[in-house]
Each structure stands twice: as C-alpha cells, then as structure tokens.
Amino acid sequence: MSTAARRQPDRTRQTLLECAFEEIHRSGFRAASLDAILESSGVTKGALYHHFGSKTELGYAVVDEVVRPWVESSWQPLLDADDCVSAAIRLCEELTRQRRARAIEYGCPFNNLINEMSPIDEGFRKRLQQILDDWRNGIVAALRKGQARGVVRKDIAADDAAAFIISAVEGAIGLAKSKRSREFLESSMRGLMAYLETLRARPGAGHGASR
C-alpha cells in the first residue's frame, strides 16, 4: 500500500478543516458535532486533538484558512475592474445564478458565523470583523477609484454605500433561507442591481460636481 502514504499530517489537517467547514456550514458552530466531522473526514479524535487544541481553535482555523479566502475571492474582481458598477452588477448576476441548492438552503457561511458567534465569542468576533472590514474597504476603494475616473457619482458617500451594499447582499442570502424558492433572493438582487445603476455618474456631468 505505498500508493496511499499512511502519515500525511498536512493533508490530515486540511481534510479536517474542509470537513469542519462543511459541518459548520450545515449545523452552525455550536451544533457542529466533532463526531460528525470525524466520521465524514475519516479521522480519529486523537488526530483531531493533535492538530487542534480544542473545538474553538478548530473553528478559528476554519475562519482564518477557509472562510476568509472564500469571502475575499468573492469581491476581489472589483479591485481590478475599470468600471466597478458594471463589475458589481456582474458579480450580483453570478451570485444569483450560480447559487446551488445547498447555498440557498444553508446561507452564507460568513454571515452565519457572525450571527451565531460574534455576540458570544471574542475570538470569532475579531476574526469576522476583520474580514468584514477588508470587504468593505475593498468596495470603498473600488467606488473611490470609480469616482476619480468619472464612472461613479461624486455625491455619494463611499463608506455608507459600501456598508449598505454588503448589508443588502448578506441580508438577502440570509432571508432567502426562509423560502423554498429562489424568488426572494432573485428579487432582492434585482433591487440591488437597480440601486447600483443609480451610482453611475450621469453622462455629461464630467469632472464637475453634480449639483
């Protein structure tokens, strides 16, 4: 049996992180059962507690190494776009279209964790806040760049708009869980895209203030 090496600590750790992420996504962190994670990953309890000191530390590692990159990859395209409004609308369409049954049913892992853990655990709260700050700052930067280039209205407050947009996205995904259909999510995202259109600089406004 040389094809499958019997000791692969890095791979064991990664498998645990991925299976823990899935279980936490399905059940939430507190209801996530270590036994379930062990069963789905084929790892034993001794191995788990060799790699992670406690369930909480496992949760922190999931946030740092799975949730954070996952969230960041979802908005990074905004930074490179020439027209951030169009890029944002494209991301909205993608999100509406590609969401599979699982994501509709269980929602956004990032938002789920904030809702469940931020009020009761400082370690989670700080990590999740940082992810949220980075996301918001990314949108702020994209909007400011758009304002400098004349594709975004100059009379909007970029930080307020960024917080508002993130709230709407996460709120829509969260509330969609109460529905069996995707109608609410799609409708809310149409509302968001209509709002994004209002952020465009009116043609002819040029470099001057709009009023």
Partner DNA sequence: CAGCGTTCATACTGGTCGGTATGTTGCGAG
Partner DNA sequence: CTCGCAACATACCGACCAGTATGAACGCTG
Nearest CB to DNA, comparing residues 58 and 71: 58
Structure tokens at 48: 């788990």
148 binds a second copy (CB under 8 A): no
Does 123 help bind DNA (rule: CB under 7 A)? no
Q: Which of 8, 9, 11, 31 binds a second copy (CB under 8 A)?
A: 31
Alpha-carbon torsion, ordered 193, 199, 204, 210, to 10 deg? 150
Q: Is 18 in the site for a second copy (CB under 8 A)?
A: no
148 binds, among DNA, a second copy, none (CB under 5 to 8 A by kind): none
# residues contacting DNA (CB under 7 A): 23
Stretch binding a second copy (CB under 8 A), from 3-11, 14-22, 72-80, 103-111: 103-111
Query: For a second copy, which stretch binds (CB under 8 A), given 52-60, 61-69, 90-98, 120-128?
Result: 120-128
Give yes or no for a contact between 104 and 44, defined as CB atoms under 8 angstroms apart: no
Q: Looking at residues 20 to 59 of the shown chain, list those that interact with DNA (rule: CB under 7 A).
A: 32-36, 43-47, 49-51, 54-56
Dist. CA 143–CA 156, nearest whole Å: 9
Q: How far is the CB of 99 from a second copy (least distance, A)?
A: 14
The phi and psi torsions of 200 (rounded to 5 degrees) equal -65, 145
Are 16 and 58 in contact, with CB atoms under 8 Å apart? Answer: yes
User: Does the protein bind a second copy through residue 106 (CB under 8 A)?
Assistant: yes
CB of 12 to a second copy, least distance (A): 29
Give the one residue of 168, 182, 200, 205 binding a second copy; rule: CB under 8 A: 168
Binding-site member from 17, 78, 88, 172 for a second copy (CB under 8 A): 172
* Residue 71, binding choice from DNA, a second copy, none, Cβ under 5 to 8 Å by partner class: none
Smallest separation (angstroms) from a second copy to the CB of 34: 16
Q: Does 182 participate in binding a second copy (rule CB under 8 A)?
A: no
The tokens for 146 are: 């758009």
Q: What are the residues binding DNA (CB under 7 A)? A: 5-9, 12-13, 32-36, 43-47, 49-51, 54-56
